[in-house]
């Protein structure tokens, strides 16, 4: 129940983001999932900056970022990944075709991410050191999926 309101807010924001990108030639599911990924990056960046001491630790902001990650990683993936929306199909998309070849493995990565996000949420308001201690498992859960399923920026 704790994450129901943040999840609803994220869905509403994601829908707004997708609509605001109306001039794009990408299908709505792609715009929606890219908006969600931007929310992941924002939240992880907030926590990472605090963990590294680049941003002053703020318990409320850390908790909000961790709670967003839990809410985002709890969203069902149904509908975000339709066939024909890979990097081979659309320009400006980083989703590799391997996603559709290994959908069960791909979507199980969100469970792993959710576990890491919940661990972060459990300690996010406990101080900079606590946040720093959870960054490696959180980053590892993101990186594992990106390694196999996201086109590199190189």
Nearest-angstrom CA–CA distance, 113 and 137: 9
The pLDDT tens digits for 40-94 are 999 999 999 999 999 999 999 999 999 999 999 999 999 999 999 999 999 999 9
If one counts every other C-beta atom within 10 angstroms of the C-beta of residue 56, the result is 9
Average pLDDT estimate for 130-134:
98
Count how many Cα atoms sit within 13 Å of the Cα of residue 100 in the half-sphere of its side chain: 14
Domains and their CATH numbers in the chain: 4-149 (1.20.120.10)
The pLDDT tens digits for 95-116 are 999 999 999 999 999 999 999 9
Question: What does residue 28 show for φ and ψ, rounded to 5 degrees?
Answer: -55, -40
Instruction: Check residue 49 and give its pLDDT.
Output: 98
0.95 cut: is pTM over it? no
Instruction: Check residue 1 and give its pLDDT.
Output: 46
Instruction: Check residue 6 and give its pLDDT.
Output: 53
Task: Give me the residue label for tokens 């929606």.
Answer: 32
Nearest-angstrom CA–CA distance, 80 and 107: 11
Nearest-angstrom CA–CA distance, 31 and 15: 9
Instruction: Check residue 20 and give its pLDDT.
Output: 45
The pLDDT tens digits for 10-21 are 555 554 444 444
User: How is residue 150 annotated by DSSP?
Assistant: B
Instruction: Check residue 22 and give its pLDDT.
Output: 46
């Amino acid at each position: 129940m704790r994450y129901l309101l943040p999840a609803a807010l994220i869905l509403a924001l994601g829908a707004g983001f997708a609509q605001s990108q109306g001039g794009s030639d990408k299908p709505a599911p792609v715009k929606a999932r890219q908006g969600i990924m931007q929310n992941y990056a924002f939240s992880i960046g907030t926590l990472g900056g605090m963990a590294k001491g680049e941003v002053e630790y703020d318990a409320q902001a850390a908790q909000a970022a961790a709670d967003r990650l839990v809410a985002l990683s709890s969203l069902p993936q149904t509908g975000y990944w339709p066939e024909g929306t890979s990097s081979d199909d659309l320009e400006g998309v980083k989703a590799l075709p391997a996603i559709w070849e290994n959908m069960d493995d791909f979507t199980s990565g969100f469970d792993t991410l959710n576990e890491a996000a919940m661990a972060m949420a459990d300690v996010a308001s406990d101080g900079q050191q606590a946040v720093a201690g959870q960054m490696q498992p959180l980053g590892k859960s993101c990186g594992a999926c990106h390694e196999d399923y996201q086109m590199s920026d190189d």
